[in-house]
Structure 1
Amino acid sequence: MQEWLEAADGKAEVLRYLKEQVPQIFCLKKESSPQEEEELMQTRLIHPLECFLFGEDPEEGLEKLKHGCSSSQLCGRVFKEGETVYSCDCAIDPTCVLCMDCFQDSVHKSHRYKMHASSGGGFCDCGDVEAWKIGPCCSKHDPGAPAAMVTDECDLEPELYERAEKLFRILLRYVTDFLVWEESFELSAELQPRKDNAYYCVLYNDEHHSYDHVIYTLQRSVNCDPAEAQIHTALIDKEQGRRAVKRGTLRSCQQARDLIRSNSQHISQQPLRVEILHTTVMAHQTFALRLGSWFQKIISYSGFRQAFCQVALEPDTDRDHLCLISRLMLHDAVMYKARKVIHELILCSMLMETDFKRLFAVEFTKHYKQLQKDFINDDHERSISITALSVQIFTVPTL
């Protein structure tokens, strides 16, 4: 948006806009349908941000990028849980795998291979010369093949790269601040709501309490019927990792929190994890998570990916010189299921750029001892942990 480009303090302008728009779309008193929420987010949040990024209509800007791209050797497809992947005797180690499309177009199709379901948290190694003894590239990713795909090696114009860095710096800080949010934190001045003193009592997933225990606790603590308690429990466990189980004043939410803790502690030695969040905070957290997915789409173009990596690895003078990606890693164990989005974002950014992969490996190794301690104490799904990225770093010879 033009006023953001011309503003002396672009960060303040963007945050002021998010302050007005985000609470109007997410976490309203009456829940909107997912489709309506998505449409509002695209038109009132994502589209203006992309207009600022490109300095023109986003569709025209993306079309120009596509025409300016050259072929890339790396596939880098991030695997979803349960997706079929292929390994071969030609791999440098057992962790090197191919996606189905690359496997079908590779020499490994005629070799001794194995197929299995991915547990998620990895990506296709097609094009990585350090991953394969022979045939590192399928026909689509072989830079010497006449039919090689046109993908993402794009040099951005200096003005576009500068705008990307500026916007990514604002948004990645925003995402980080809200995803590592703690109950005691307060909103920054730019995001303080003008009114609305409503709060949520938010229940988080854990591995200590059974379905029946959580349903029983909710029925006794927040006066919901069995069907409603069952829906809350299922969504917390299977999809979101947390859920608002009550909306009201600060006092009423605190009472609900105390009841949930006391009722669940009678069942298990550990009470359920429950926090009080202002509705505005919850709204910003919801959008921050959506921005993680938006980043994945935008940085599929290497010029934007380089700008993102540059910003993510910058030392933050306000936070003990920790870079933003390190802050996210160090909060991994308490980040509920939002961490899956962050893991995928790391896979398709830092680990796809050779120079930044090395810098990320240094940061990861620097915090490795603490990450392992957090992993040991983590009571969530062990398969979803930042420590799983060690296989992408410590098995690479040049690292």
Structure 2
Amino acid sequence: MISLFNELMISSLSPPSVATLPPSLQPPNNRNVSILVYIPKHLRFALEVMPGSRKYVFTPGARAEILAKLYSSFFGNHPGLFVPSASSGAGGGAAAGKVPQNMLLSEYQALNGKEDTVVVPGRPCSYIFKKGECCFRCKDCSLDDSCVLCAKCFHATDHSDHNVSFFIAQQPGGTCDCGDEEAWRQPLSCPHHPPLPYPEEIAEVFSAGPRVASRPQPRDIPPVQNYPLRVPVPDDLRAMMHRTIGFVLDYILDTMDYSPDEPGPPLHESDLRLQPTADPMTKDQYCVIVWNDDKHCYDELIKMLGDLTNRTREEAVEVIQRIDDYGREIVDMNTNVPKLYEMAMSIAQIDLGVTIRRAYDTFCEQVVSVLIEWLADLTRCRIGTDALVIKEIIAAELLSPRRKEMGYPINTRSPLYINDPSPTRIDALFLYHTRLWKKPRLHMKEVYAAAASLSKNHKLAIAGHFANVYHRIVDSYLLIDRDAETSIKYFALQLFTAPSVAAHIVKNHNLISRLLNMISSFFTNQISEKHIQYQTSYTGPLDVESFPFKSKRFMPVFSDLRYLCHTEPVQEMIVRNKDFIVQFSKICQLFMCVNPSKRAVMNHVEFETDAWISVFNVTLSLSRVIKSFGEAYAKATPTQLVTALKHVVHSILLTVTLQDDRLDKTKYSPTTFHRVQFGGKEYQIVEFDVLEGWVSFHHSLHWLLAELLKHTQLLSQGALREAGYEDLRAVFFEMANEQAILTIVDFPLRVLSMIAQIRTGLWVRNGFAIRGQLLHYRDYMLRELCYDQDLYILQTSLVLLNPNTVLITILDRFNLLSYFSGTLTHPTFEPQQLSSMVEELLYILIALLTEDSHANRMSVDQSVKREIIHALAMDVG
């Protein structure tokens, strides 16, 4: 075996002939078998023996050796197509057909002048931003806030008098959207990326049924059409590139099969030897690895490393810097298992990510890091003038299944095999992203971005695979991943915001329904073994003190849903298919009246919880989705809008009348009515006292109803008559009488009354928490999501019901009926408080009667002009 190791280690780095392969790797007695089939096995064997031959110590020399073997295999018999001779460029000193040691191919090609100089119509920029680079955004031109430009494209296009902003990229991976016709409201006329004179053709597979369109094969994705810089690629070279890249991807997956999902030492020292390993010798040599962390300061980590590993401060600083740059670092390696385990447990006690694993597996993971870096670099390389062929091969291999003839053992630990017996490589890589660390994660995102930017077909295919495993990605993001900034979940931003992609994954992958189910299951705490267990129904109030509400990671999941609902083709699906409004109403029902408050009368609240902050974060995230969802109904027919209105009204009534068990029945009672006298007339209105009852700031179903009511311009008298209704009142009164509508309106009215009481000083014993909720609810940045919606529901009630009845209800809820009947004292309000409540009521009435921007369908410009006038008028006073 030793002689075999030496034979491989000193062998030439050029592609071996059959005769030079070890006997175990030589082909059978068939002289016609292509040597191409055996190159990856030779490469695999070299990588498998490398950990032992290098004593498990990964050095720059090991990296250089890996790169040399990769390029040797990848170039095949045609290195001259990739690497110019030493005398032809600036890279003097390199042998012909070889990349200089410790240099990547793209660096060497750039050094020898291989850069894009030809403008190709229809090719997007797709420049991948590096950390620290400037990104530009134009709100006038872009479809949404996710569309950005690199400096080159921004300065080449005209944005005079536009609303432009810029920011610094905090992490690499984002791409320039110039040249992507779906990203812009109007043509940018960038001279570097002119559009195609004809639309890009979509592959037939994406027009097939969901079963076919959801799992396209590489053969279904055509190469990029009409690319003028193509060069002929020999068949044997193409086959070599496919097999080398396929092998590299399989090696990455084989290694990551044995890696843990999250860093952490085992509970007992004896469990170390039970950890899965790829080491055939199962040698008891272990490494302690510290992972990147955003919770601890440098000084704390430097002191800890110095105490545990006897490093000097300078050495500890160097280690910490490598952890920050690369995502993790080996801090110790030896055979003294008890000592290593004690060290790992000491590190874990301060909640710092740490693993203790066999040195063989750790070395293989370091090899994986080099392989991923090599793949990312290939996306920047070319063959001659062709900058696409290598990326096309990478994309094809990503979309292919793992090759079983490569000899890898199917690891039943992998979660992939539970749900999918034949996952593609990209499926597995998406799920194993959590097992990687910072640097390889960022490189993999570059690979995905480069593959997706090839063509619309490639983007649809990759988006489909991402959607297939999206629920598992969300599991890892919400429950496992320690480094959320580099999570693959954020790749959704580049995919879900493209209208064609959004339409594809909603239609063929049912992603909106799945997302709503995820949100429902997560916030009802249906979590087991680090997985969200999807349930079909849930009753009862939510526990706002549970982990899901305290997690800060749920907001990007709501953002993904909002991106999907914001695109035009998805909005058309929403209004056409009633299932969407039904499913979305259930989510809104889930958060109805969450975290209610009751006025403390005699004693101060003993313990002020900060759960209200988490609740506001959740419901405001939901309200942004509600806004996008409601905007879809601007495209609805009168019948579709009426159907949606009726369903939402029905859902509200089920909740507020306690028929669906959503509300806490220890705090909410069935609605009752009482008769009141005012102005010589008798009115029957809802009986409720805000001074004594429970009131919540959060009425998500009412916010959804308000969004739908903003499109009632579609319900002209003629359109309503065609649908069988005389007017808007008839739509509501078909399924609800006056008392039911008063019940619906009463819940947002209670919030307005509670706000008046808080501002008057009647809730001081409830502490700072209630004041904080008030400030958020009425904050000028957030009020359009909640406060303005509640006001609009009240305005609508003045149209649907007798205005006198609504006005009496408002007076009753503000506890001012007796005051306006002539009684100038109040049993609860002090004189100053009574005057303040009257002022608050006057403010509400003025808003109801004069705030007509929604009712009159004002444009954005008109609304802004109106707000500026109001602000200036107040300043003059």
Bucket of the pairwise TM-score, normalised by the shorter protein: 0.7 to 0.9
Matched, 1:288 2:371: yes
Deviation per CA, 1:159-205, whole angstroms, max 9, x where unpaired?
433222222111121233335641644338xxx69x99754322222
SS in 1 for 2:444: helix
SS in 2 for 1:187: coil
* 1:360 to partner: Cα distance: 1.1
Matched, 1:51 2:75: yes
Deviation per CA, 1:350-370, whole angstroms, max 9, x where unpaired?
343321211111111111122
Query: 499, 503, 513: which is aligned to 1:397?
Result: 499
Q: Which residue pairs with 1:163 in the alignment? A: 240
* 1:343 to partner: Cα distance: 0.8
* 1:384 to partner: Cα distance: 1.6
* 1:102 to partner: Cα distance: 1.1
- Structure 1 residues 157 and 226, CA gap change in structure 2 (3 angstroms): same
Deviation per CA, 1:313-343, whole angstroms, max 9, x where unpaired?
1133755312111212112223111211111
Distance 1:305 1:235 in 2: 30
Q: Which residue pairs with 1:327 in the alignment? A: 428
Q: Which residue pairs with 2:123 in the alignment? A: 73
- Structure 1 residues 262 and 166, CA gap change in structure 2 (3 angstroms): closer
Distance 2:76 2:320 in 1: 40
- In the TM superposition, what are the counterparts of 1:1-399 in structure 2 within 5 Å? 1-3=15-17, 6=35, 8-19=37-48, 28=57, 42=67, 44-52=68-76, 54=78, 58-59=82-83, 71=120, 73-88=123-138, 89-108=140-159, 111-120=162-171, 121-142=173-194, 156-179=233-256, 181-182=258-259, 184-187=275-278, 199-236=286-323, 238-249=324-335, 252=336, 254-266=337-349, 268=350, 270=351, 272-279=353-360, 280-298=363-381, 301-316=387-402, 318=410, 320-337=421-438, 338-378=440-480, 380-399=482-501
Instruction: Please say if residues 175 and 291 of structure 1, whose CA atoms lie closer than 8 Å, have aligned partners that are also in contact.
Output: no
* 1:152 to partner: Cα distance: 6.3
TM-score for both structures, normalised by structure 2: 0.39
Distance 1:291 1:126 in 2: 26
Could you tell me which amino acid in structure 1 is paired with residue 332 of structure 2? K
Instruction: Please say if residues 221 and 260 of structure 1, whose CA atoms lie closer than 8 Å, have aligned partners that are also in contact.
Output: yes
Deviation per CA, 1:222-250, whole angstroms, max 9, x where unpaired?
333333333222321x211111111222x
Could you tell me which amino acid in structure 2 is paired with residue 394 of structure 1? F
- Structure 1 residues 101 and 7, CA gap change in structure 2 (3 angstroms): closer
Distance 1:93 1:271 in 2: 38
* 1:213 to partner: Cα distance: 3.9
Distance 2:46 2:155 in 1: 47
Distance 2:340 2:158 in 1: 58
* 1:70 to partner: Cα distance: 8.1
Could you tell me which amino acid in structure 2 is paired with residue 235 of structure 1? R
- Structure 1 residues 54 and 111, CA gap change in structure 2 (3 angstroms): farther
Could you tell me which amino acid in structure 2 is paired with residue 48 of structure 1? S
Q: Which residue pairs with 2:712 in the alignment? A: none
Distance 1:343 1:336 in 2: 12
Structure with higher RCO (Cα < 8 A, 6+ apart): 1
Distance 2:259 2:374 in 1: 20
- Structure 1 residues 57 and 301, CA gap change in structure 2 (3 angstroms): closer
Query: 172-181 or 239-248, which moves further after superposition?
Result: 172-181
Query: 330-339 or 175-184, which moves further after superposition?
Result: 175-184
SS in 2 for 1:393: helix
Distance 1:296 1:243 in 2: 27
- Structure 1 residues 27 and 107, CA gap change in structure 2 (3 angstroms): farther
* 1:53 to partner: Cα distance: 7.4
Could you tell me which amino acid in structure 2 is paired with residue 186 of structure 1? T
Instruction: Please say if residues 26 and 283 of structure 1, whose CA atoms lie closer than 8 Å, have aligned partners that are also in contact.
Output: no
Deviation per CA, 1:285-331, whole angstroms, max 9, x where unpaired?
34324323333334782122122111101133755312111212112
Could you tell me which amino acid in structure 2 is paired with residue 95 of structure 1? S
Instruction: Please say if residues 200 and 247 of structure 1, whose CA atoms lie closer than 8 Å, have aligned partners that are also in contact.
Output: yes
Instruction: Please say if residues 25 and 40 of structure 1, whose CA atoms lie closer than 8 Å, have aligned partners that are also in contact.
Output: no
SS in 2 for 1:77: coil
SS in 2 for 1:108: coil
Deviation per CA, 1:8-57, whole angstroms, max 9, x where unpaired?
5333122123345687789648x55xxx6766555x33441342274656
Could you tell me which amino acid in structure 2 is paired with residue 294 of structure 1? D
Instruction: Please say if residues 452 and 458 of structure 2, whose CA atoms lie closer than 8 Å, have aligned partners that are also in contact.
Output: yes
- Structure 1 residues 233 and 255, CA gap change in structure 2 (3 angstroms): farther
Distance 1:241 1:48 in 2: 29
SS in 2 for 1:243: strand
* 1:94 to partner: Cα distance: 1.4
RMSD: 3.6
SS in 1 for 2:329: strand
Could you tell me which amino acid in structure 1 is paired with residue 330 of structure 2? A
- Structure 1 residues 46 and 350, CA gap change in structure 2 (3 angstroms): same
Distance 1:144 1:357 in 2: 17
- Structure 1 residues 140 and 208, CA gap change in structure 2 (3 angstroms): closer
Could you tell me which amino acid in structure 2 is paired with residue 138 of structure 1? C
Instruction: Please say if residues 246 and 397 of structure 2, whose CA atoms lie closer than 8 Å, have aligned partners that are also in contact.
Output: yes
Distance 1:256 1:153 in 2: 59
Instruction: Please say if residues 332 and 340 of structure 2, whose CA atoms lie closer than 8 Å, have aligned partners that are also in contact.
Output: no
- Structure 1 residues 203 and 152, CA gap change in structure 2 (3 angstroms): farther
Could you tell me which amino acid in structure 2 is paired with residue 204 of structure 1? W
Could you tell me which amino acid in structure 2 is paired with residue 331 of structure 1? Y
- Structure 1 residues 292 and 359, CA gap change in structure 2 (3 angstroms): same
SS in 2 for 1:359: helix
Instruction: Please say if residues 148 and 176 of structure 2, whose CA atoms lie closer than 8 Å, have aligned partners that are also in contact.
Output: yes
User: Considering only CA atoms, is the larger Rg found in Structure 1 or Structure 2?
Assistant: 2
Distance 1:137 1:45 in 2: 44
- Structure 1 residues 398 and 119, CA gap change in structure 2 (3 angstroms): same
> Gaps spanning 5+ residues in structure 2: where?
1-14, 19-33, 85-96, 98-108, 198-226, 261-274, 405-409, 411-416, 502-877
